[in-house]
Structure 1
Amino acid sequence: MTQPDLTALLADLRLLTEIESPSGDARGIARVMDVVQGWLEELGAKTEHLVGDTRRFTIGDGDGGVLILAHADTVWPHGTLDRMPWRVEGDKVFGPGTYDMKGGIVGAVHALKLVRDRLSLPVEVLLTPDEEVGSLASREHIEAAARRARAVLVVEPPVAESHALKTGRKGVGMYHVRVHGVSSHAGNAPQQGASAISEAARSLLRVESFARPDLGTTLSTGRIGGGGPVNVVPDLAEFWTDVRVSTLAEAERLEREVRGMTAADSRVTLEVLGGLNRPPFERTPGTARLYERARQVAVTLGFDVSEAFVGGGSDGNFTAPLAPTLDGLGSPGDGAHALHEHVRLDVWPRHVRLLAELIRDPGV
């Protein structure tokens, strides 16, 4: 197979990186999508603008092909380039969104260039605007595309350091518990009040007690608030708890446990909001076959790949229950959501070649 052009990869990655596209910035995200649209249309892709600002690109006709999932948004606010500019140092290229996941987008386009004339299946590229904030607008399109696909290739980055591909991810969610008590004067009539803060403290500990680390189920309360003047028994408090689950059965158990809670004080009510945002990405036989195909291709290209189950979610969580899904096919590097975010230039080209062969023939 022809080698990808590293100079061209770098130029295209710089172009995307220097368009700041934080989640929620429709204009910046559209600028990224416009560039990608131009690249893919040069390869013969047809473009469709979907509701919610997702863009669908297709090469070839019919269903039952390969779906490539990518997102144009990043976690980085405007102005990040001023303190975290694009720069190349040795075999690393730094910049906001390089690793997660503009390198993945660029790699997918260049992989398609390598095999455009040798495709055995139709290809669909779905570029979404809101992965970093839960894919609320794009989830419907992602799941519909997965139902059409024979295989789903997610160009999120591989695991840092090991560059392992991802054959499983935890389900991700958040519970927001609002506690409604009864206010009263803390000095003159404390008995007439029912403290929302006291009940929130009890409820928070109870929610966290539902964790089952042995089964991969973890809960972590990252934010709490409530109350007002110190001399008033508070009538409102709330907290937010991060949820990670390895299996759908555990997600269902948590739903029963958390939503079944009642307050110790009958005058207090609990309002449970939120829940699971992304279902668990469980390793199915189809995903196992897709990974084995990737492993064999890597060997022919002169390197080894491994697989990993990770705690963070991606849009692959939505597709894994619907079609064989392999994640981590983006650009190798490190520092997702961190100031040292970078792509490894010494190993990136071989991962582009691996992705190209999987696009050409996913083996499922």
Structure 2
Amino acid sequence: MNQNEAAAALSVWVALESPTNHPAGLNGMMDLVQKDVAGLPIAVERIPGRDGLGDMVMLRAGLDNGQPAVAVMSHLDTVHPVGTSAKELPVRIEGDRLYGPGVYDMKGGAWLALQAFKQVAAAGTAKRPMVFLFTPDEEIGSPTSRKLIEEIGRSSAAVLVTEPARLGGKIVTARKGVGRFDVRLEGRPAHAGSRHADGRSAIREAAHQILAIEGMTDYARGITTSVALVGGGTAANVIPQHAWFSVDCRVTTLADGAMMENRILSLKAHDPDVQLRITGGMNRPPYEKSAMVAELFGKAQKVAAGIGLDLQDCPMTGGGSDGNFTAALGVPTLDGLGIDGDGAHTLQEYALISSIAPRQALIKGLLETV
């Protein structure tokens, strides 16, 4: 398949919009995966979706020799709402750039990895069993797929994650852990004019708590806390009875994750007459560059050198992925093996068409040598 054919085939995937909350689109994507492997020596298992989310598809191929597998992980859910490709971000080619919702994060990586998987399966050149899992919910923390991701990880010699490349083609060997918390506050309503002193403002309490949580950021330790969603109130002339906000927390170590989880969940109300309820916790454990990850990265560099690539990794990145789950189990994991480009989660998202062939060759080589 030449570069133009590859771009055209990937465009079909990008044109089928599949935000996490649109199971019809995601199931359509899973249909495309199944259609792409029809007639090849690849076993297909379709796992029905649950909790209002899309299905999963698991592919198996390679030698059935009792060895631990090499696993590939891709998510097919995106963040752009349905209709984005018809308006703000049409699927189009401009020079070396293929634009479209989710093309960089991460349909491009999923598509090119599937082509590599097909090549190795058809040629029978893998040294061990191969597994490829396509999931529908990574963008919201993988609530329905995490158990299967970890199950596959535990029986694998290595895990390859096709999240997009970073900083001009670098791959990812470390990610911060991610925590998500939900804070609900209940005060006492009162007329804002005639009975102001009788009220207990949930929003005022929320302001105290937000400042306390934002103040937990410690750049020197790689800990960040942020409140990005907030709401509350009843009417302009009522002391607010209710308020809520969400918290995002990022850490570099398991110990800091446990510490921050306890610190946030243990917050007490500034005003004892306002009820404070905090739920949530660390969603993704940190993915640290262990000695085994470094060894696997060294193998990837050798494969890359054989196809003319000088493969480098980037510093620990703040974003989480499904690679966090497998790396935390002690399974050698490489991430960021997907397509090169930029603009993830924006209306300028694009992938570099010229990166398809070398990134596909890199994954093919890893499937054959790990």
Q: Is 1:64 the equivalent of 2:68?
A: yes
Pick from 72, 75, 82 the counterpart of residue 78 of structure 1: 82
TM superposition score normalised by structure 1: 0.93
TM-aligned CA deviation for residue 51 of structure 1: 4.5
Please give the residue correspondences for 1:275-294 in structure 2 after superposition, counting only pairs within 5 Å: 275-294=281-300
Please give the residue correspondences for 1:224-303 in structure 2 after superposition, counting only pairs within 5 Å: 224-303=230-309
TM superposition score normalised by structure 2: 0.92
Q: Is 1:11 the equivalent of 2:8?
A: yes
Which residue in the other structure is 1:336 paired with?
A: 344
Please give the residue correspondences for 1:4-153 in structure 2 after superposition, counting only pairs within 5 Å: 5-52=2-49, 53-60=55-62, 61=64, 62=66, 64-83=68-87, 84-116=89-121, 117=123, 118-153=125-160
Deviates more, 1:214-223 or 1:109-118: 109-118
What is the distance in 1 between the residues matched to 2:101 and 2:147? 28
**Secondary structure of the equivalent of 1:357?**
helix
What is the distance in 2 between the residues matched to 1:114 and 1:184? 68
Unaligned 5+ runs, structure 1: none
Q: Deviations over 1:259-296 (max 9, x none)?
A: 11111222222100222222211112221111111112
What is the distance in 2 between the residues matched to 1:330 and 1:14? 16
What is the distance in 2 between the residues matched to 1:43 and 1:243? 44
CA gap 1:77/1:295 in 2 versus in 1, 3 angstroms: same
What is the distance in 1 between the residues matched to 2:317 and 2:118? 30
What is the distance in 2 between the residues matched to 1:278 and 1:198? 31
What is the distance in 1 between the residues matched to 2:287 and 2:90? 34
TM-aligned CA deviation for residue 196 of structure 1: 1.5
Structure 1 vs Structure 2: percent identity of aligned residues?
41
CA gap 1:190/1:79 in 2 versus in 1, 3 angstroms: closer
The AA in structure 2 aligned to 1:94 is Y
What is the distance in 1 between the residues matched to 2:293 and 2:244? 40
Q: Which runs of 4+ in 1 moved over 4 A?
A: none
**Secondary structure of the equivalent of 1:239?**
strand
Q: Is 1:317 the equivalent of 2:324?
A: yes
**Secondary structure of the equivalent of 2:127?**
coil
**Secondary structure of the equivalent of 1:69?**
strand
**Secondary structure of the equivalent of 2:29?**
helix
Superposed CA RMSD in Å reads 1.7
Pick from 154, 168, 181 the counterpart of residue 174 of structure 2: 168
Count residues in correspondence.
358
Which residue in the other structure is 1:182 paired with?
A: 188
